[in-house]
Amino acid sequence: MEIKQLEYFRAVVESGTISAAARKLSLSQPPLSFQMKKLEDELGLSLFERGRKEIHLTEAGQLLYQESGDLLRRLEALKLEVRSAGHHPILRIGVTPTTIPVLMPVLKGFQMDYPHIHYELWDENSYRLNHLLKEGMIDVALLRSPVFLGNLKSHLIRKENMVIVFCRKSYQFKKVALDQVSQYPLIVYRRYQKLIISAFDHRHLNCRIAYLCDDGRDAVELAKLGNGIAIVPASLKLIEKDLQVLPLEEKDLETEILLTWNTKNVGFETNLFLSYWQRTEI
């Protein structure tokens, strides 16, 4: 299996068809099809479901797509590290869409104190960042609960309540409690589904989930269209004239933001960053 084959494979998946990928890669279609068949032959299994106009991956194809992305990113990071050897150390930081606003003020101050350090930011969900930390592909991450840390070390940055987000033209609220929200279709970030349902069940309320999303930003976009009321973490910064953001009166719908690292993979720059963060809290 060659790096170029993996790059071709990902291009095919992301383009949707072999022909579209060939145009993107400036190749003719037959050589690209040959490379995909060669890759399947080397692995001894099918990566694509046959008989469809658009690309659909088998279970093995989905796994290869996910893992190859990490591998190719790590190779690029390795190139950067080698080129920077003896010049600039690199700190690899993982963030989620809802924790990046928490990181940025601290990172700005850290960068001013240590201008020689360069950075890689990995934007993923908490589950993926958890995996990347354990694999040693990133140095530190800002995760949001619920997440199983295992042997990873963490420092609680803060607890944060959930808020509701809705289109001003579609709904009108001044104060919001769950008994009011239960009367409307909800848009829920999937990883908080159990937490939210539990809060409703505890109060014997109906939780009318109309949309489940894998990204908090998708939930906000659906809310903007008036498709329902989104429940998201408060730090998902929203500046939209058509959107209203209100805190819930109930305080038990909360998540934790955790500064997390792998004690087996702590370099000098990681220690500097961890120490700096904790000093900012004093």
Last residue of a domain, one of 62, 84, 106: 84
Domain that holds residue 61: 3-84
Confidence (pLDDT) at 108: 93
pTM: 0.65
Residues 262 and 147 in one domain: yes
Residues 126 and 188 in one domain: no
Confidence (pLDDT) at 273: 93
Confidence (pLDDT) at 280: 85
Residues 249 and 166 in one domain: yes
Confidence (pLDDT) at 184: 92
What's the structural domain count of the chain?
A: 3
Residues 270 and 149 in one domain: yes
Q: 235 near 257, Cβ under 8 Å?
A: yes
Residues 166 and 248 in one domain: yes
Instruction: For 215-273, write each residue's pLDDT tens digit.
Output: 888 888 899 898 899 998 887 756 667 788 888 888 888 889 999 999 988 888 899 99
Gap between the Cα atoms of 87 and 76, Å rounded: 17
Between 72-81, 135-144, 222-231, the lowest mean confidence (pLDDT) is in 72-81
Gap between the Cα atoms of 178 and 201, Å rounded: 11
Return the CATH number at 248: 3.40.190.10
* CA 275 to the chain's CA centroid: 25
Return the CATH number at 60: 1.10.10.10
Q: 21 near 10, Cβ under 8 Å?
A: no
Task: Write the CB contacts of 82 (distance below 8 Å, at least 6 apart in sequence).
Answer: none
Last residue of a domain, one of 40, 62, 84: 84
Q: 231 near 161, Cβ under 8 Å?
A: no
**Look-up of token digits 């099918």:** 46
